Amino acid sequence: MIARMATNPLPQFPAGFLWGVSTSAHQIEGAVDERAPSVWDAFSAGPGHIKDGSTAAVACDHFHRYPEDVALLAGLGVDAYRFSISWPRVNSPGGLDFYDRLVDALCAAGVRPVPTLFHWDLPAELDWMDRDTAERFAEYASVVAGRLGDRVKKWITLNEPAEHTLLGHALGAHAPGKQLLFDALPVAHHQLLAHGLAVRALRAAGADDIGIANSHGPTWAASDRTEDVEAADFYDLLLNRLFADPVLLGQYPEGIGELMPGDVESDLKIIAEPVDWYGINYYQPTEVGAPEGAEIEFSGLTLPAELPFTVKELEGYPVTDFGWPVVPEALTELLVGFRERYGDRLPPVVITENGCSYDGIDDQERITFLDGHVRALHRALEQGIDVRGYFVWSLMDNFEWAEGYERRFGLVHVDYDTLERTPKASYNWLRDALRAQR
């Protein structure tokens, strides 16, 4: 539990810095009967897959209540709203009309729409193990850009392909529930290829402000012992370099390219299609040690014993209700590390997600969390890192995947019985902090 604390004014960010909040389609829209099925619909119905037995059938009912949510965004005073477009909805008759209306409402409210084209809700008939899914994704990107590109200027291709690969295809904790372990690597490659093909498709439609939202966090070795350092390095490769190196350097980390399917060299040229900025979702650093030959319970997951590393609970830090350590300084470390690794291949950075789960409407812990992370971000700017924006996860409480509705990440509380929205203390804090930035 973090102590209640009044915060001092935040440091001033450069003019034009983009302040926003994020959500995703499957987590807030509901209205699942008004679209084609996604892999998450089938997965959620599986016994024990969602901890509280819930589904996203209604979620926040944003599909029907979006005017109220746009009013909340306007009241918050954010520059931009990052939401995701449901590919299955776009595949359904009239599905794009919803995003047309949402984008119009955002523009009318003076909030810049920043859609993500894929945030894990794959159409049920598709599979990222198939290369063809990447080609289909580029076609879908063209369709969306053709319809919304007159008003949408900033685009995100994929959200967190690392988690979608690891949780959905390697461990089976997320949809589509596959437990392929390292045989899931083609899923990573095909998503990266989809990203590159979509960048080309969006450019062909006239877009010139395109990024990806990859999740990253520093990996800390449990000790100086060679076994721990090597295990941490491998974990860092899987969660960080595997998804950043192909996009930013046009290559896979050593030893990985040969494990990927197809003509990897020529695919890498597509994957490295230049982006205009690089999105980072940051939540926490991870402490990693040598494997201990036993299953590991970590962050609500059971990690199999055969993994070549152990993920440890970080000690000595406050934790969120999810048990995630609160380490703002690791955000500065992450950004400085990115510049060291990628140098002038790193385009401007946008923090596309950062946030925490805490219960309660008087959420002083969330204020402390956000205050600390925004200051840590400012310290990165002071060290010369070109960061252009910061998006809080999330505008409102929502369906937190396998955790169901137990984890509340929102600035706005949602009563799941009545669907009433109530701004939390953190919403008021952010609104005031943003006013002070103008």
Q: Please give the positions annotated as active site.
A: 160, 353
Nearer to ligand IFM, 234 or 393 (CB): 393
Least distance (Å) between residue 213 CB and ligand IFM? 8
Nearer to ligand IFM, 253 or 404 (CB): 404
40 lies in the binding site for ligand IFM (CB under 6 A): no
Nearest to 396 by CA among 416, 383, 384, 410: 410
Question: CB neighbours of 87 closer than 8 A, spacing ≥ 6?
Answer: 38, 117, 118, 121, 122, 123, 137, 140
CA distance 374 to 437: 12
Chain residues 142-201 in contact with ligand IFM, contact rule CB under 6 A: 160
b/e per residue 29-48 (b: at least 16 CB within 10 A): bbbbeebbbbbbbebbeeee
Residue whose structure tokens are 């900025």 = 277
Least distance (Å) between residue 281 CB and ligand IFM? 5
Question: CB neighbours of 28 closer than 8 A, spacing ≥ 6?
Answer: 59, 60, 62, 69, 396, 398, 399
Least distance (Å) between residue 346 CB and ligand IFM? 21
Sheet bearing 310-312, strands edge to edge: 219-221, 286-289, 310-312
Q: Using CA of residue 18, residue 25, residue 66, residue 50, what is the dihedral sign?
A: negative
**Tokens standing for 47?**
């016994």
Least distance (Å) between residue 409 CB and ligand IFM? 6
**Tokens standing for 384?**
């010369």
When binding is defined by CB under 6 A, the residue of 19, 21, 24, 82 that contacts ligand IFM is: 24
Least distance (Å) between residue 322 CB and ligand IFM? 7
Nearer to ligand IFM, 83 or 140 (CB): 83
Interface with ligand IFM: number of residues (CB under 6 A): 8
282: DSSP letter: -
**Tokens standing for 225?**
């012992």
Q: Using CA of residue 234, residue 176, residue 264, residue 269, what is the dihedral sign?
A: negative
29 lies in the binding site for ligand IFM (CB under 6 A): no
Least distance (Å) between residue 11 CB and ligand IFM? 26
CB 409 within 8 A of CB 393: yes
Least distance (Å) between residue 150 CB and ligand IFM? 28
Chain residues 409-428 in contact with ligand IFM, contact rule CB under 6 A: 409
**Tokens standing for 213?**
């939202």
| Terminal alpha carbon distance of the chain | 32
281 lies in the binding site for ligand IFM (CB under 6 A): yes
Nearer to ligand IFM, 22 or 310 (CB): 22
**Tokens standing for 146?**
């053709």
353 lies in the binding site for ligand IFM (CB under 6 A): yes
Nearer to ligand IFM, 56 or 272 (CB): 56
Nearer to ligand IFM, 236 or 353 (CB): 353
Nearer to ligand IFM, 140 or 393 (CB): 393
Least distance (Å) between residue 377 CB and ligand IFM? 17
400 lies in the binding site for ligand IFM (CB under 6 A): yes
When binding is defined by CB under 6 A, the residue of 98, 393, 427, 429 that contacts ligand IFM is: 393
Nearer to ligand IFM, 24 or 368 (CB): 24
Least distance (Å) between residue 226 CB and ligand IFM? 32
Nearer to ligand IFM, 63 or 322 (CB): 322
Binding site for ligand IFM (CB under 6 A): 24, 27, 160, 281, 353, 393, 400, 409
